[in-house]
Amino acid sequence: MSERINGAEALMRSFKEENVTTIFGYPGGFIIPVFDALYSYQKEFDCILTRHEQGAVHAAQGYARVTGQPGVVIVTSGPAATNVITGLADAMLDSTPLVVITGQSIVAQLGTDSFQETDVIGITQPVTKWSYQIRRAEDLPWAVARAFYIAREGRPGPVVLDLTKDAQTQLFDFEYEKCRFIRSYQPNPTPDQADLALAADLINLAKRPMAVVGQGVMLGHAEKELYEFLEKADIPAASTLLGLSIMANDYPLNMGMVGMHGNVAPNRKTGECDVLIAIGCRFSDRVTGDINTYAANANIIHFDIDPSELNKNVRVFLPVLGNVKQTLPAVTRLLKPARHTEWIASFKTYKEQEDKQVIARDLHPEGPAITMAETVKCISDKSGKQAVLVADVGQNEMVSARYFSAGPGRQFVASGGLGTMGFCLPAAVGAALGAPTSEIYAVCGDGGIQMTIQELGTIMQYQLPVKVVVLNNNFLGMVRQWQELFWDKRYSSTRMQNPDFVQLAASYHIAGRRVEKREELSEAVQQMIDHKGPYLLEVHVEEEGMVYPMIPAGQPISNIIMGPSEK
């Protein structure tokens, strides 16, 4: 059954076939036909007009991160296409499924530097899983089907379809067939039985096993499989930044977070364990520090779906290729039930050390200034079980990761691999749309929020109940922290004069409040939570606050700086 329609209409029908419900967009000359078609599909799709194309992509990322479904973006050509690059690169590094449609000039003018023409394929190829230019309407259903398949399947990622004006307006016989197979792409590599058996043997023999849990577990929907695996062999586990909220904070085997500002115990224990089981993570240098000393006493087993990640950053003893949804239970079946009571108890010493030297100071500071940690902890304590925290980048992100107790669920969203300042506010827009029944906290710094602050307009227009928390230290805090520790306190270009954020929010008709005194913090947070609809809370925090513990970049992860006295 086919019917003659134009490419723009075909795009709408294709989206319906792929169960799209929400679209983030921004119109312009070379995409008008698609927006015209959208006008007739207002019942089917929520089309969210952001205030910048970067915001549209980050919003789609936030949406994808909380729903597990591809985020969909439609923008025009030229400057709009270049505005989406940051979000694409971010999504590529953080394995976020996106389908981004960019408008493009008419075919006859391609390559002639015509108005608002850019080489979108050339620019986007290095930062996408796939990008493709559609020149004829009849190729559109095939390309869209393939785009969703590629974005979703295997290790997810962003896909760009560069849609020429011709392809939007040409009439053709529409027929849609979902993509189920691509000859050159193996999204789910078949696990090697011998590897699985060897992994089980190694774990069965381990005296001091430890797991590092990455986002791959979430992307593979293998949370249950993870818990069964850990519990059967009694394996203490830590998360990467993007793995946070897979295990609840109070999950008995959860030992915290690894990495530069991670918890002391799992970082130190990385060097003490005899088998390190990395599950769906990619050994970012923010996790490993100096790779030559990383997990020096362990045989590393690495479970991952992407062959190019295996042995890429860290040389491992045993790579186990495959979807963790399959490989984990297969190994679990071969595990002998075990108890590692003493080993697990030994994490405690380091935990107590961190509690005393870092956490107590963060949460019960001597000085009058409010700390970021107090603020995030207060939100964490008062918010509901389902609350989602979307962090920006910098100190606010690390403190959020450390003090917000999330999970189990998709409840912590941050820009990991790219570390994109300005991610938070638009990503929170997407999270609010993707998880409409959850409280959404957008926790950002005074620097980062100003990179995409115009998205307050989007929050206003759609009355999204995002609670924006600006941790204002009047500094580009994380850079200042490096300058303090490693550059002799030469605060070059990190001091920032800021607007009145509460008034700024007010001009968007968003309620808000500023807090400067500790006595007011708890009540102010409560007021924000109780407020129906969007809200902005500006918290004046310690100007020269630090995030500890810290492992200086490139150093062995045993070189942990615990506080100001040592460095």
Partner 1 sequence: MEKKFYTVNVYSENTVGILNQVTNVFTRRQVNIESLTVSRSSIPGVHKYTITATTDEETIAKMVRQIERRIDVLKAFYYLDDEIIFQEIALYKIPTDKVMEHGIIEQVVRRYNARILEMNRGYTVIEQTGHNEEIEQLYRDLEPTGILQFVRSGRISITKSSIERLSNFLAEMEAKRLASEQSYK
Provide the minimum distance between the beta carbon of 93 and ligand TPP in the complex, in angstroms, as a whole number: 13
Is residue 122 close enough to count as binding partner 1 by CB under 8 A?
yes
Report the distance separating Cα 58 and Cα 52, nearest Å.
10
What DSSP element (H or E) covers 502?
helix 501-507
Token pair, residue 184, equals: 């050159």
Is residue 4 close enough to count as binding partner 1 by CB under 8 A?
no
For residue 497, indicate whether it is catalytic: no
Report the distance separating Cα 62 and Cα 44, nearest Å.
21
Candidate list 22, 128, 254, 420; residue touching ligand TPP; CB under 6 A: 420
Candidate list 395, 400, 411, 452; residue touching ligand TPP; CB under 6 A: 395
Provide the minimum distance between the beta carbon of 494 and ligand TPP in the complex, in angstroms, as a whole number: 7
Report the distance separating Cα 559 and Cα 212, nearest Å.
19
Burial 501-516 (b: 16+ CB within 10 A, else e): bbebbeebebbbbbbe
* 32 residue type, one letter: I
Residue 145 or 372 having the CB closest to ligand TPP: 372
Is residue 478 close enough to count as binding ligand TPP by CB under 6 A?
yes
Residue 5 or 471 having the CB closest to ligand TPP: 471
Candidate list 29, 68, 271, 307; residue touching partner 1; CB under 8 A: 307
Token pair, residue 33, equals: 């036909």
For residue 115, indicate whether it is catalytic: yes
Stretch that binds ligand TPP, among 232-240, 292-300, 317-325, 477-485 (CB under 6 A): 477-485
- Classify the C-alpha dihedral 111-115-121-123 as positive or negative: positive
Count the residues of the shown chain that bind ligand TPP, applying the rule CB under 6 A: 20
For residue 129, indicate whether it is catalytic: no
Of 129, 165, 325, 377, which one is the catalytic site residue?
165
Q: What Rg do the C-alpha atoms of the chain give, in angstroms?
A: 24
For residue 412, indicate whether it is catalytic: no
CB 303 within 8 A of CB 237: no
| Binding positions for partner 1, 147-176, rule CB under 8 A | 150
Candidate list 265, 387, 476, 550; residue touching ligand TPP; CB under 6 A: 476
Provide the minimum distance between the beta carbon of 327 and partner 1 in the complex, in angstroms, as a whole number: 18
SS3 assignment for 159-195: EEEEEEHHHHHCEEEECCCCCCCECCECCCCCCCHHH
Residue 186 or 349 having the CB closest to partner 1: 186
Provide the minimum distance between the beta carbon of 479 and ligand TPP in the complex, in angstroms, as a whole number: 5
Is residue 181 close enough to count as binding partner 1 by CB under 8 A?
yes
CB 300 within 8 A of CB 270: no
Token pair, residue 214, equals: 């990455």
Compute CA distances 265 → 255, 271, 510, whole Å: 7, 10, 42
Token pair, residue 251, equals: 């999950």
What DSSP element (H or E) covers 59?
helix 53-67
Length of the chain counted residue by residue: 567
Stretch that binds partner 1, among 182-190, 259-267, 281-289, 402-410 (CB under 8 A): 182-190
Provide the minimum distance between the beta carbon of 460 and ligand TPP in the complex, in angstroms, as a whole number: 22
Residue 121 near which of ligand TPP, partner 1, none (CB within 5-8 Å, type-dependent): partner 1
CB 345 within 8 A of CB 256: no
Residue 291 near which of ligand TPP, partner 1, none (CB within 5-8 Å, type-dependent): none
Residue 213 CB partners (closer than 8 Å, separation 6+):
226, 237, 238, 239, 240, 243, 246, 247, 279, 280, 281
For residue 61, indicate whether it is catalytic: no
Residue 161 or 476 having the CB closest to ligand TPP: 476
Residue 217 or 478 having the CB closest to ligand TPP: 478
Residue 129 near which of partner 1, ligand TPP, none (CB within 5-8 Å, type-dependent): partner 1
- x/- string (CB under 6 A) for ligand TPP, residues 205-244? ----------------------------------------
Report the distance separating Cα 207 and Cα 91, nearest Å.
38
Report the distance separating Cα 239 and Cα 246, nearest Å.
8
DSSP code of 20?
-
Name which of 535, 540, 529, 541 is nearest 512 in CA terms. 535
Is residue 285 close enough to count as binding partner 1 by CB under 8 A?
no
DSSP code of 437?
T
Strands (E), 371-465: 388-391, 412-413, 440-445
| Binding positions for partner 1, 310-329, rule CB under 8 A | 310-312
Q: Describe the crossing of helices 477-486 and 395-403 by its angle, rounded to 10 degrees.
A: 100
Residue 180 near which of partner 1, ligand TPP, none (CB within 5-8 Å, type-dependent): partner 1
Candidate list 43, 183, 339, 490; residue touching partner 1; CB under 8 A: 183
Candidate list 126, 252, 499, 554; residue touching partner 1; CB under 8 A: 126
Of 12, 372, 478, 550, which one is the catalytic site residue?
478
Is residue 292 close enough to count as binding partner 1 by CB under 8 A?
no
CB 335 within 8 A of CB 211: no
Is residue 111 close enough to count as binding partner 1 by CB under 8 A?
no
Report the distance separating Cα 285 and Cα 279, nearest Å.
16
Of 9, 18, 53, 455, which one is the catalytic site residue?
53
Token pair, residue 506, equals: 């007010």
Residue 9 or 542 having the CB closest to ligand TPP: 542
Is residue 182 close enough to count as binding partner 1 by CB under 8 A?
yes
- x/- string (CB under 6 A) for ligand TPP, residues 443-462? --xxxx--------------
Residue 151 CB partners (closer than 8 Å, separation 6+):
70, 97, 98, 99, 129, 157, 158, 159
Residue 417 or 556 having the CB closest to ligand TPP: 417
Q: Which amino acids are annotated catalytic?
A: 53, 115-116, 165, 478
Tell me which residues touch ligand TPP (CB under 6 A): 392-396, 419-422, 445-448, 471, 473, 475-479
Tell me which residues touch partner 1 (CB under 8 A): 121-122, 125-126, 129-130, 133, 150, 180-186, 306-308, 310-312
